[in-house]
Amino acid sequence: MATATMPRRPTKARKYQTKILIGGQWRDSVSGKTFKTIDPSTEEVITEIAMGDAADIDLAVKAARKTFDDRKGVWRKMDARDRGRLMHRLADLIEEHIDELAELETLDNGKPIAESRNVDLPLVIDCFRYYAGWADKIQGQVVPIRGNYLCYTKKEPVGVAGQIIPWNFPLLMAAWKWGPALAAGCVSVLKPASSTALTALRLGELAMEAGYPAGVVNVVPGRGSVAGDALAKHPGVDKIAFTGSTEVGYGLMKICSETLKRLTFELGGKSPNVIFADADLDTAVQGSMLGLFFNQGQCCCAGSRLFVEDKAHDEFVEKLSKKVESRKVGDPFDPDTEQGPQVDKNQYDTIMSYIEKGNKEGAKCVTGGERLGDKGFFIKPTIFDNVTDNMTIAREEIFGPVLSVLKFRDIDEVIDRGNANEYGLAAAVWTRDIGKAHAIADGMRAGTVWVNCYDVFDAAAPFGGFKKSGFGRELGEKGLDSYTEMKTVTISLA
């Protein structure tokens, strides 16, 4: 996949968009304050970004509100098909700037350039194109009610969407939020994660270039506990879409209950990945490795509880360890790199503390378990074997390159143990037995189940959580529901 034309680390002279986008204007924060964003592979400051707070959020929500509420304004009067064309134009611009955006994502987040360029960016473009196609297909029904009436439903945009996104897939999460919102005719105030705001700001520039009317998309970087909190509290916001930690989700739900905002949450996970002895083990090893180590283990759907049938356990762990040890960890701008640094010092420290707990509680570290190098937040890919269900590393989301291996004997046992966790985002099973595959797909309380594959994402396939992994679905037709309100119109024909 790596090619000679792969994007490179930008030079020091490179300029970035670092201001706040409100009502079509780029501005400094009201307070004049900025915050630093760093390159996690060198720990050097990339640039300083305007730090929005409640005052900036207020301006952004008012700008969004004004655009949305103006019934005679260009956004509300725009034909649905033209909304779709605007989205296609944005997708085309992203494609024209694909190398530059991939480079920026890798710089700010630390993910390998081969992944930014060949995984994240194509998914971003696909998401916008997929929802562009929906813009003129969001329609209601004629309802056969009793009496002499014509009754029909229509779907209308929910209004101003406050969208708070994480740092693990910065641009892709922006696309998952803007795609359905813009197709449905909503307007957005987007709050990117503090550690990775640069690509969302560049996306804002491209949206302006595509011709989005002022106030349709607004981007306000700033601290979650300040700017994110203000967005959730603002009475001018109709809906909050949040992707991030379950802990922040609890707080947001309380805050949003005061103004009865619509909510969609995509939170954490501790997904079971089940390997039966009859599986094609080499394929399962490769898939399970990616299922956990992809994106430095910073995936909400990471297959972090690897259940291996006892008969296959020793062979599987040996093969997996060899594979994992051969992973190329290092400079994310090297086109051959498979694992870069963790996103920031906080995440690095949290992961290292989980590794310490794994060791203390008696799991067996078969590979990794330590920092790599002395600069940048690099952690060696780590596998713990002999993990039991009650250990901290088997229960809590680590969000890093740390895999827990657990043994199981039969199918009912593994379904029960797989479900014995507060999360329910994803699950996977590897087997040649179609009966076992269906039993797992049926039995696991999870929003997505992968059979003989992992991390297969598509803009058309709904994604979201059971239990404490969240509610509502993103992507697919279902992803539009949370950005529309249904209106029922009844007309007397008497």
List residues binding ligand NAP (CB under 6 A): 164-168, 191, 193-195, 223-225, 228-229, 232, 243-245, 248, 251-252, 266-268, 300, 397, 399
Residue 444 phi, psi (nearest 5): -80, 130
Q: Least separation, in Å, of the C-beta of 45 and ligand NAP? A: 17
Compare residues 176 and 408 and give the one whose CB is closer to ligand NAP: 176
Closer by beta carbon to ligand NAP, 331 or else 344? 344
Bridge-based pairing state of the strands 470-471 and 262-266 = antiparallel
Q: Is the Cβ of residue 97 or residue 234 nearer to ligand NAP in the bound state?
A: 234
Closer to ligand NAP by Cβ: residue 167 or 384: 167
Phi, psi dihedral angles at 232 (to 5 degrees): -65, -30
Q: Which residue is nearest to ligand NAP (CB)?
A: 224
47: number of Cβ within 10 Å: 17
Question: For residue 75, how far is the Cα from the chain centroid?
Answer: 27
Long-range contacts of 26-31 (CB under 8 A, 24+ apart): 29/53, 29/55, 29/56, 29/222, 30/55, 30/56, 30/59, 31/55
**Nearest CB to ligand NAP, comparing residues 168 and 404:** 168
The tokens of 449 are what? 């189940």
Tell the smallest beta-carbon distance from residue 240 to ligand NAP (Å).
Answer: 9
What are the start-end ranges of the E strands in 247-401? 262-266, 272-275, 305-309, 364-367, 382-385
- Nearest distance in Å: CB 79, ligand NAP: 33
3-state secondary structure of 430: strand
Q: Report, in Å, the least distance between residue 196 CB and ligand NAP.
A: 8
- Is residue 95 annotated as part of the catalytic site, yes or no? no
Taking the C-alpha atoms of residue 67 and residue 27, their distance in angstroms, rounded to an integer, is 18
Q: Which of 103, 300, 338, 397 is catalytic?
A: 300
Q: Does the annotation mark 266 as catalytic?
A: yes
Q: Closest distance between ligand NAP and the C-beta of residue 140, in Å?
A: 32
Q: Which residue in the list 266, 338, 397, 474 is annotated as catalytic?
A: 266
Q: How many residues are listed for the chain in this entry? A: 494
Beta strands (DSSP E) in 259-396 are 262-266, 272-275, 305-309, 364-367, 382-385
> Could you give the residue numbers annotated as active site?
266, 300
